Structure 1
Amino acid sequence: MVMLIIKLCIFAMAPLCTVAANAQTQGIGFGYGGRNGPKQWGHLNPHYTECSVGKLQSPIDIQRGQTFYNSTLEPLHRDYYTTNATLVNHVCNVAMFFAEGAGDVVINDKNYTLLQMHWHTPSEHHLHGVQYAAELHMVHQAKDGSFAVVASLFKIGSEEPFLSQMKDKLMKLKDERLKGNQTAQVEVGKINTRHIERKTRKYFRYYGSLTTPPCSENVSWTILGKVRSMSKEQVELLRSPLDISYKKNARPCQPLNGRRVEMFHERVTKKETGNKKKDPN
């Protein structure tokens, strides 16, 4: 039953990474360099046109001068629960798919259900001109098909606890790939993602797109303001199951095109209400 759910999730989330092996042989697969690199995505397939002509594309560089504090934004509300999960070599990234009941996030009174999370190395979003070592995307979807992605940036430093727990599973995924299984899956079993929903004092929000073809512009992005750490070895481990052309799987930053990047900051909110508690971030 769990595997059936995972397969259904992979089918439903295909737009996030449509590089199945058969697509590659048909010449419509995308990559991160050369003739099928990001600059060419919009010409690889009629369904990918938005990658070239869209005006609300992601990722972006979040610059100080283009960021606006919004006092109406609320603290990020996430409720995640223990559920079965499976690690997947998603061809263009390593992903973890969750079974039903993984939890959800509420944004602007709209509920988005957690489906999967995956990693990009290096980061896709830049923060004040800086590109980081890695970026985690927690992918949620609403009933109307729109997405909400909560992203965390990582610099090289101490080990990331969740990835430390997944080390053996990631190594097994790598071994499966070395055996020739390009879309290997490794059962993780029950997984507790509650630590990921830790309170955040600052985030950035804007409206954008998927960062892989078809680059659909129906994504609410939340970029957490606190940059976390993972070790260099963990970055390499996330890359290890992937083909060489996908080990560096970050789409370049896209033009903002007049979009408004809004910021939530608990310190500013508390100052406005008379509570001047120092922000540790």
Structure 2
Amino acid sequence: MAPPNSILVIGVALLLTAALTEQTFVNFSYVGVKGPEKWGSLSPYYSTCSKGKSQSPINIVKKDVVYDSKLQPFLRNYTATNVTLINNGFNIGISCGSAVGYANIDGMKYTLKQMHWHSPSEHTINGERFAAELHLVHIASDGSISVVAILFKIGNPDPLLNQMKESLNQLTKETCSGDQEAHVAVSRMKLKRLNKKTRKYFRYVGSLTIPPCYENVTWTVLGKVRDISDEQLKALKAPLDATFKNNSRPVQPLNGRRVQFYNELHSN
């Protein structure tokens, strides 16, 4: 199954830009001739994937991060709301309603618009890759983009995914072809667990991790690695075509960028 034109929704509605259209969209993959190493040559609109100097994901080397006393506590206020579970072809995601809540990042309010999973993780810590990674995509009133990344290791079931067990099973049964994407409504999904206090996080400026790899994205990678069960991981992969079951872009060069580090213990 080729990735549908739902990426246009991400490019236009979610990211508040009209950079992608029916004419500029080009299928991409994670393997073969349309894999990550070739993304930049698939379309002129994807050129940043190969030419950009601030690409994501990255390998975070703990000894090289810089503690920054100017970083503020990472505050968010997400609420229970109706959401839509989506098979985008290249990942499993959730489209959030307008009242889902927001994150306060360095004094700016970012509204949560969408979340999606990658497996295995895209970011690595000291070279270690984890079982999965959840991206929470936020947009500010000025159109700037901020993505929060949560890393997962195999362990206990994740409470957030527990709420979606039946919906994921239903999504797997849906037929997805051409430019059609599969949707399953999820009523009153409780997102309060995502409000849990963050004592440590990493911050850097990077890009989207799928074409067209737009840059100037503020990344917040949470320091605590959470648990996901093996069964849940299989359920996230089940609706995807074989070429997208492992949907992680390789880590990209830092090119002199600085990774900042927030630690609550040292913030006062």
Percent pairwise identity: 48
| CA shift for structure 1 position 223 | 0.3
Give 3-state SS (helix, strand or coil) of 2:175's partner. Answer: helix
Q: Could you list the runs of 5+ residues in structure 1 that have no partner in the other structure? A: 1-5, 274-281
Match of 2:88? 90
CA contact (8 A) 2:15 2:143 kept: no
1:202 aligned partner: 200
Gaps of 5+ in 2: 1-5
* Amino acid across the alignment from 1:160: D
1:83–1:100 CA contact under 8 A, matched in 2: no
Query: In 2 relative to 1, CA 125–15 (structure 1 residues): closer, same or farther, beyond 3 Å?
Result: farther
1:12 maps to 2:13 = yes
Q: 1:220 to 1:180 in 2, by over 3 A?
A: closer
Aligned to 1:143: 141
Deviations 1:48-100 (A, max 9, x none): 00000000000000002320111111110111122220000011100011111
* Equivalent residue number for residue 279 of structure 1: none
Q: Per-residue displacement from partner, 1:195-253 (whole Å, max 9, x unpaired)? A: 11100110000000000011000210000000011111111110111111110000000
Could you tell me how far apart the structure 1 residues matched to 2:254 and 2:105 are? 22
| Equivalences for residues 41-56 of structure 1 within 5 A | 41-56=39-54
Q: How many correspondences in the alignment?
A: 261
Matches within 5 A, 1:209-224: 209-224=207-222
Task: Kindly indicate whether the alpha-carbon contact (under 8 Å) linking 1:204 and 1:224 is maintained by their aligned counterparts in 2.
Answer: yes
| Residues 212/109 of structure 1: CA separation in 2 closer, same or farther (3 Å cut) | same
Q: Counterpart in 1 of 2:244?
A: 246
Give the residue type in structure 1 aligned to 2:130.
Y
Q: How does 1:26-175 map to 2 (within 5 A)?
A: 28-175=26-173
CA gap of 1:146–1:14, structure 2 versus 1, over 3 A, is: closer
Deviation of the 1:143 alpha carbon: 2.3
Equivalent residues of 2:136, 2:147 under 8 A apart: yes
Q: Quick one: which amino acid aligns to residue 208 of structure 2?
A: L
Q: Which AA in structure 2 matches 1:13?
A: L
Deviation at 1:7, TM superposition (A): 11
Letter matched to residue 50 of structure 1: T
Q: Evaluate the alpha carbon distance shift between residue 9 and residue 42 of structure 1 in structure 2; reply closer, same or farther with a 3 A threshold.
A: closer
Kept in 2, the 8 Å contact 1:19–1:29? The answer is no
Structure 1 distance, partners of 2:58, 2:126, is: 10
SS at match of 2:214: coil
What is the CA distance between 1:104 and its match in structure 2?
A: 1.0
| 8 A contact 1:89–1:182 mirrored in 2 | no
Give, in whole Å, the separation in 2 of the partners of 1:138 and 1:253: 19
Looking at structure 1, the residues matched to 16 and 119 of structure 2 have their Cα atoms a distance apart, in angstroms, of 20
Which TM-score applies when normalising by structure 2? 0.90
- Aligned partners of 1:231, 1:102: CA distance in 2, in Å? 26
Q: Judging by fraction of residues, say which structure has more helix.
A: 1
Higher CA-based Rg = 1
Q: Equivalents in 2 of 1:158, 1:99: separation in Å? A: 28
Task: Report the AA paired with residue 154 of structure 1.
Answer: F
